Amino acid sequence: MQATLSEQEVIRREKLVELRALGIDPYPAPSYKITHTAVQIKQGYSEETKEEYKEISLAGRIMSRRDMGKANFAVLQDETGTIQIYIKRDEICPGEDKSMFDTVWKKLLDLGDIIGIKGYGFITKTGETSVHVESFTLLTKALHPLPSVKEKDGEVFNEVTDLEFKYRQRYADLIVNPSVRDTFTRITKMKNAIRTFLNDRGGLEVDTPVLQSIPGGALARPFITHHNALDIPLYLRIANELYLKRLIVGGFPWVYEFSRNFRNEGMDRTHNPEFTILEFYVAYKDYLWMMETTEKMLEETAIATNGVSTSVIDGVEIDFKAPYKRISIYDAIHEHTGFDISQMDEAGLRDVCKALHIQVDATMGKGKLVDEIFGGKCEKHYVQPTFIIDYPVEMSPLTKKHREKEGLVERFELIINGKEIANAYSELNDPIDQRERFEEQLKNMERGDDEAMFIDNDFLRALEYGMPPTAGIGIGIERLAMLLTGNVSIQDVLFFPQMRPENVA
């Protein structure tokens, strides 16, 4: 049900009627020729180049106006930025009929309306590059007023500083906050840089199913739906790992995917139920090669995104320049808790959790307990990019056993600014070992762990055909975007973060 219209919304609809009565279409045909952008004019216009700006055609949104009687100044905003425009009544309306200026421009147009203008460049007496308007065309009438900008005690603020408004009405946020548009532009640069890095090295971008009969590839709680025609339950993808490995079995040497994943879990500053993971798998490589490749890729990506290898988030400078520090998970726990847990069984780990005041429950096996200790007491200390390596086998059901260290696997997590950014393995390619690991996960499921992995028999069959030694990684794209754009909340790097349904009166 539509909300009750505000006074301003009612007035704008009345203006819409008046415009149509004057024969002006408030939503004309979409084609409008544009010769220049705001930034091109502001950066390029000068006394030496003014001949190039004698015929300007520009389109944008009216952001502010100053009424000076028979002449007005206004600010127009396009996708590149803002520029001042100057409109004089007698030039817009050279004949006796002054309605295009007195009625349409001054009374029927509002802030937020999108117009096209034709004119020429000039510099005002105050030195501001502007456009002298010779004619204008209404391209879109805005029926909802823009968020109002206010000032109090010298501080400028507006409705979009309210997070509820900001995330729910991202379109308005993008209009009034240019820095938000810049964030998402840089995120696109980041993704393009990653694609270029992978493509240049022989990676093949692929697509894998979002609807899956078995939610595999990660320890997570899935969303469940039902397919009516097949009359079976289906799960929204929690990871694409097992499908990408099937492609390695099939003979592709290097595959990657920007995978939209869904996990039915909590929400906070670093978690959204819908998010993007980059996963790639490379045959005949291991986790040591993957560490070197990852740090090279992230250094190049940081430079492509920001122009330098560093980024500042929450007042802390992060340097993505390779190489990164490496430390085993057991050594990290020993360093930050004083406990050497490398030889402990489940009972011993529970005693450590109790001593460290970490809450655990009966559903948690050895792997989950180690994860809780590291996450609760260690992770926050790793601000600069650090590879946490060599995990216990219980934490890693899809990972190859360590070639030298009993009870461990060849796995690393990349921690930056106290958060996991990437997870990588020397992939398990022994189908018998893999089945045993799945069966251990099934036991965890039976004791109540709703994030334990299902047994994927088709994936096991694929492994039985033979998967070459393979290195694989998953990188949290939103978390990386937060780091590279300096945002502390995942909601700020998602165009449309998940929110409760809006109550519209």
Confidence of residue 8 (pLDDT cuts 50, 70, 90): very high
Where do the domains of the chain lie?
7-146, 181-205+243-324+384-485
For 271-314, where are the E strands, in sequence order?
A: 274-283, 310-313
237 and 215 Cβ atoms separated by less than 8 Å: yes
Average pLDDT over residues 59-81: 95
pLDDT the model gives residue 1: 41
SS3 of 281, please? strand
pLDDT tens, 90-115?
A: 999 998 899 999 999 999 999 999 99
Fold classification of 7-146 is: OB fold (Dihydrolipoamide Acetyltransferase, E2P) (2.40.50)
Instruction: Average the pLDDT over each of 14-18, 220-224, 330-334, 341-345 and give the range with the smallest value.
Output: 220-224
- The tokens for 490 are 């995942």
Instruction: Average the pLDDT over each of 157-161, 165-169, 219-223, 412-416 and give the range with the smallest value.
Output: 157-161
Average pLDDT over residues 59-75: 95
More confident residue, 117 or 148: 117
Q: Per the annotation, does 420 bind a ligand?
A: yes
- Identify the H or E element spanning 351: helix 346-355
Buried b (16+ CB within 10 A) or exposed e, 252-267: bbbbbbbbebbbbeee
Find, among 197, 382, 384, 379, the residue nearest to 309 by Cα.
Answer: 384
Q: Per the annotation, does 502 bind a ligand?
A: no
pLDDT tens, 287-333?
A: 999 999 999 999 999 999 999 999 999 999 999 999 999 999 999 99
Q: Write the CA distances from 413 to 130, 295, 389, 424, integer angstroms.
A: 52, 12, 7, 6
Residue 106: CB atoms within 10 A of its CB come to 16
Residue 156 has pLDDT above 60, yes or no: no
Whole-prediction pTM value? 0.89
Residue recorded with tokens 């739906």 = 225
Average pLDDT over residues 36-49: 96
Confidence of residue 218 (pLDDT cuts 50, 70, 90): confident
Residue 200 has pLDDT above 80, yes or no: yes
pLDDT the model gives residue 216: 80
pLDDT the model gives residue 160: 63
Task: Quote the mean pLDDT of the chain.
Answer: 93
Fold classification of 181-205+243-324+384-485 is: BirA Bifunctional Protein; domain 2 (3.30.930)
Residue 220 has pLDDT above 90, yes or no: no
Residue 153 has pLDDT above 80, yes or no: no
For 237-309, where are the E strands, in sequence order?
A: 254-262, 274-283
pLDDT tens, 387-408?
A: 999 999 988 888 899 999 999 9
Give 420's strand partners. Answer: 415
- The tokens for 169 are 């009405």
Do domains 7-146 and 181-205+243-324+384-485 share one topology? The answer is: no
Residue 134 has pLDDT above 80, yes or no: yes
pLDDT tens, 423-475?
A: 999 999 999 999 988 888 788 777 776 666 678 899 999 999 999 999 999 99
pLDDT tens, 171-183?
A: 999 999 989 999 9
- The tokens for 406 are 């009993």
Residue 149 has pLDDT above 70, yes or no: no
